[in-house]
Amino acid sequence: MTAKKRTTKEAKKKGITFKTALPVLAFFYRKAWEIQKSYFFLILLNAVLSGLSPFINILFPAYIIDELIGGRRISVLAGWVAALVLLNLSAAVANQILSYFINRANLRMEAGFNWLIGNKAMTMDFRHTESAEVLTQLQKAKDGMGWYSGGVAGITENLAGILSGLLTLSGTLAILGSLSPWLILVLVMLLLLNTYLVSRSQKLDTLNRKDMIGILRLFDYYLNLLKDFRFGKDIRLYNAAGMVLSRTDQYIQDDWKARKTVIRNGSRYDAATAGLNVVQQIILYITLGLSLLAGSITVGEAMALLNSANSFVDSLSSIIRQTITLVRNADFMNECKIFLEYPSETVSGDGKTDPGKPHVIEFRDVSFRYPEAESYALRHVSLTLEAGRRLSVVGRNGAGKTTFIKLLTRLYQPTEGQILLDGRDIREYDEEAYRALFSVVFQDFQLLSFSIKENLTATADEENLPDSPVVDALEKAGFGERLQSLEKGIHTTVYRYFDDDGSDFSGGESQKIALARAIYKNAPITILDEPTAALDPIAEYEIYTHFDNLIGGKTAIYISHRLSSCRFCERIAVFAGGEVVEYGTHDELLAKGGEYTTMWHAQAQYYV
């Protein structure tokens, strides 16, 4: 924990400056330009409008007052009042219309960047998706585009704020300059002092807030634990409520400790700032009062002066604040840029494959080490998978079975050696074309919360596909009976994330849908990674007996802890410590008396 804190602190110290923020802004606005070009025009127009509109209320009330004191002509007064209210009205209406279009554009931006993040997550090298670092980066990218910075809309607001602030500033500067130039000097000095205080307090604030975010994350974790009924059983039966609750209590106290510092620093700096502001008001009033007494300005001018002095200070401090925020937001958004720019190391050719033909796959002395890992997960694996053969891959937990599948499906690339498809290195084929050859049911398969049909057909590009092959695949996977009991049949939504009429299927049922998805894909090579783990003996038996039917004459690879399944396979490869230690038929391996025999007897002894 302490080590971690230190490194983040060091990273913070380097910090991001306006200069380093520029490439980030350039990156995002290039993308924004692609999403909607009129965005920039809208923003510019709105900034000009909001930069100039304060002058309506600075100038016209002053004219009215001077006329009241001076000429007192009704028609002139009416003219000024009319000008004042009509200009205010037009400014408000114009602002509303512009905001409407800007809101729409901002929504497009938000969707556009979510799209980019999602697309990147789905197309990046698979190895990234298993890296804790990239996962953290993904979260940072989402947070960085979300409420931390407000995304493109957020930085645009900062930029527009700076622009309109500059406009107001130059206008008020002109008014002040003509009426009371030395006042500018006083105001700027007060403002500099103010800015110094604000930046100091913000620095302290960010530090404390970082701590608090960490504490609240933990607090959240414990709370979710309490709500989760899967934990509920253990917590109740093991009487662990005290342990969990004392932890939440402790985090509230830790958070409060951090907050006390925040309160102390915050109120101290805030009070100092407020003090400066009041001093400024007092100076202004005294100046105006004395100038009025001396008759050097009119009351109207005094009012204009008062209002422009306040506007001047407001706009200048807003420019400073917006610039600081802009730089900070760019820092947050940089996390998204980093994520979107993760490099790809995948080598992919453009070779075509023919899913209709039988294929031979050969592992030639393949070794593999996970990125960052010290030891090899696979060592010198050589084996050939003939077309139409069925291979059973067995081994203890962690023997390398799943890694083998990941290499075969090109989720990872071999560290050494090569994998050949019909005699050609698989890297020479187009990635998507190559993967089209496989129907896989992973152990931790994921279904989508769409209809059952969409889950099966999502893999296809076309729309409006017929229902019958879908039903057929589901029946083959042993889901037929359950399907009949569903009111909406294959149009039933899987899970209830957003559809209240969705159906929460059990682990076994979900597994059958995943199996049906693989059957529907109808690829020449089928891979089943522990497809029966969640099934009861009868369902398991059904899958076994329908196995031939399921895969037909296709090539199949079967991973299972239940060795009885080996009986369906022509070849068995036994993995141990990343190596293929035994390879052959069931009878051959049993006769050998090696690893396979040990595992076989561990299970079979109870049944004979």
Partner 1 sequence: MSSFDKTTKPKRKKARYSNSSNIRYVLAGIWEYDRLLLFYLFMNIICTVGNSILPVLMPKYIINEAFTGGSAGAVIGFSVGLGGLLLLCRVGSSLSYWNTSNRIVTARLRFIARSGAKFLSMDYQKLEDPQTLDLAQRGNRAVSNYFEGIEGIMYGVQSSAGNLLTILLTGAIVATLSPLLILGILLLLTVNYAILFRISKMDKKENDALAPIWRKLWYLENTVSNFRIAKDVRLFSLRHFLLGQFDEENRKRLAGQSRIWRLWMWASVAFAFLSLLQEVLLYVVLITNVLEGRILIGDFLMYANGIHTFVNAVSGLMRNITDISRHSKYVADYREFLDLPDIPDGGEPVPDELFHTPLSFEFRGVSFRYPGKEEDAVKNVSFTIRPGERLAVVGLNGAGKTTFLKLLTRLYEPSEGEILLNGKNIRDYDRKDYFRLFSPVFQEIQLFAFTVAENVAMQDHGVIDREKVETCLRTAGLWDKIAALPHGIDHSLLKVIEDDGVDLSGGESAKLALARALYKDAPCILLDEPTAALDAVSEERLYKQFDGMTQGKTALYISHRLASTRFCDRIAVFEGGRIIEEGSHSELMARPSRYAEIFEIQAKYYREEAMAE
Residue list 153-212, contact with partner 1 (CB under 8 A)? none
DSSP letter for each residue of 382-414:
EEEE-TT-EEEEEESTTSSHHHHHHHHTTSS--
Q: Is 444 in the site for partner 1 (CB under 8 A)?
A: yes
Taking a C-beta distance cutoff of 8 angstroms, is the pair 153, 101 a contact?
no
The partner residues of 583 in beta bridges, in order of sequence, read 573
| Of residues 26 and 282, the one with the C-beta less far from partner 1 | 282
Taking a C-beta distance cutoff of 8 angstroms, is the pair 513, 455 a contact?
yes
| Of residues 323 and 542, the one with the C-beta less far from partner 1 | 542
| Of residues 26 and 290, the one with the C-beta less far from partner 1 | 290
| Of residues 105 and 391, the one with the C-beta less far from partner 1 | 105
Fill in the amino acid letter for 478.
G
Our CA dihedral for 354, 360, 365, 367, rounded to 10 degrees, sits at 50
Span 376-435, contacts to partner 1 by CB under 8 A: 395-398, 409, 411, 432, 435
Q: Is 2 in the site for partner 1 (CB under 8 A)?
A: no
| Of residues 372 and 536, the one with the C-beta less far from partner 1 | 536
Among 22, 26, 223, 347, indicate the residue that binds partner 1 (CB under 8 A): 223
Among 508, 577, 584, 594, indicate the residue that binds partner 1 (CB under 8 A): 508
Report in angstroms how near the CB of residue 102 gets to partner 1 at its nearest: 10
Report in angstroms how near the CB of residue 607 gets to partner 1 at its nearest: 4
| Of residues 363 and 434, the one with the C-beta less far from partner 1 | 434
| Of residues 242 and 343, the one with the C-beta less far from partner 1 | 242
User: In angstroms, rounded to a whole number, what is the distance separating the alpha carbons of residues 7 and 11?
Assistant: 6
Report in angstroms how near the CB of residue 103 gets to partner 1 at its nearest: 5
Q: Is 36 in the site for partner 1 (CB under 8 A)?
A: no
Span 339-368, contacts to partner 1 by CB under 8 A: none
| Of residues 176 and 235, the one with the C-beta less far from partner 1 | 235
- Name the DSSP class of 223: H
Report in angstroms how near the CB of residue 22 gets to partner 1 at its nearest: 27
Report in angstroms how near the CB of residue 113 gets to partner 1 at its nearest: 11
Q: Is 454 in the site for partner 1 (CB under 8 A)?
A: yes
Q: Is 234 in the site for partner 1 (CB under 8 A)?
A: yes
CA 230 to chain centre: 27
| Of residues 26 and 189, the one with the C-beta less far from partner 1 | 189
| Of residues 138 and 162, the one with the C-beta less far from partner 1 | 138
Taking a C-beta distance cutoff of 8 angstroms, is the pair 132, 323 a contact?
no
Size (the chain), residues: 608
Q: Is 115 in the site for partner 1 (CB under 8 A)?
A: yes
For partner 1, what does the binding mask look like between residues 73 and 102, x meaning CB under 8 A? -x--x---x--xxx-xx--xx--xx-xx--
User: In angstroms, rounded to a whole number, what is the distance separating the alpha carbons of residues 310 and 509?
Assistant: 69
Task: Provide the terminal-to-terminal Cα distance of the chain, rounded to the nearest Å.
Answer: 54
122-128 CB contacts, 8 Å cutoff, 24+ apart: 124/342, 124/344, 125/342, 125/344, 125/345, 125/346, 126/406, 126/411, 126/412, 127/370, 127/371, 127/411, 127/412, 128/342
User: In angstroms, rounded to a whole number, what is the distance separating the alpha carbons of residues 355 and 8?
Assistant: 50
Span 456-475, contacts to partner 1 by CB under 8 A: 458-459, 461
Among 369, 512, 517, 554, indicate the residue that binds partner 1 (CB under 8 A): 517
The partner residues of 573 in beta bridges, in order of sequence, read 393, 583
- Determine the size of the site formed for partner 1 (CB under 8 A): 161
Among 22, 26, 189, 602, indicate the residue that binds partner 1 (CB under 8 A): 602
Span 299-318, contacts to partner 1 by CB under 8 A: 299, 302-303, 306
Q: Please give the structure tokens belonging to residue 1.
A: 């924990």
Which residue blocks in 491-536 are alpha helix, DSSP H? 507-521
Helix (H) or strand (E) holding 9: helix 2-14
User: In angstroms, rounded to a whole number, what is the distance separating the alpha carbons of residues 273 and 485?
Assistant: 69
Helix (H) or strand (E) holding 234: helix 229-237
Fill in the amino acid letter for 58.
I
For partner 1, what does the binding mask look like between residues 533 and 562, x meaning CB under 8 A? xxxxxxx-x--x----------------xx
| Of residues 222 and 370, the one with the C-beta less far from partner 1 | 222
Report in angstroms how near the CB of residue 19 gets to partner 1 at its nearest: 31
Fill in the amino acid letter for 334.
N
Exposed, middle or buried, 479 (CB in 10 Å: 0-12/13-18/19+)? buried
Q: Strand pairing of 555-559 and 571-576?
A: unpaired
Among 17, 129, 170, 199, indicate the residue that binds partner 1 (CB under 8 A): 129
Q: Is 373 in the site for partner 1 (CB under 8 A)?
A: no
User: In angstroms, rounded to a whole number, what is the distance separating the alpha carbons of residues 366 and 417?
Assistant: 4
Nearest alpha-carbon partner for 603 in 564, 547, 565? 564
Report in angstroms how near the CB of residue 177 gets to partner 1 at its nearest: 23
| 39-47, 61-69, 149-157, 166-174 -> range binding partner 1 (CB under 8 A) | 61-69
User: In angstroms, rounded to a whole number, what is the distance separating the alpha carbons of residues 247 and 243?
Assistant: 6
Report in angstroms how near the CB of residue 18 gets to partner 1 at its nearest: 29
Report in angstroms how near the CB of residue 329 gets to partner 1 at its nearest: 19
Q: Is 522 in the site for partner 1 (CB under 8 A)?
A: no
User: In angstroms, rounded to a whole number, what is the distance separating the alpha carbons of residues 582 and 473?
Assistant: 34
| 173-181, 317-325, 413-421, 437-445 -> range binding partner 1 (CB under 8 A) | 437-445
Span 235-294, contacts to partner 1 by CB under 8 A: 235-249, 252, 255-256, 259, 262-263, 266-267, 270-271, 273-275, 277-279, 281-282, 285-286, 288-290, 292-293
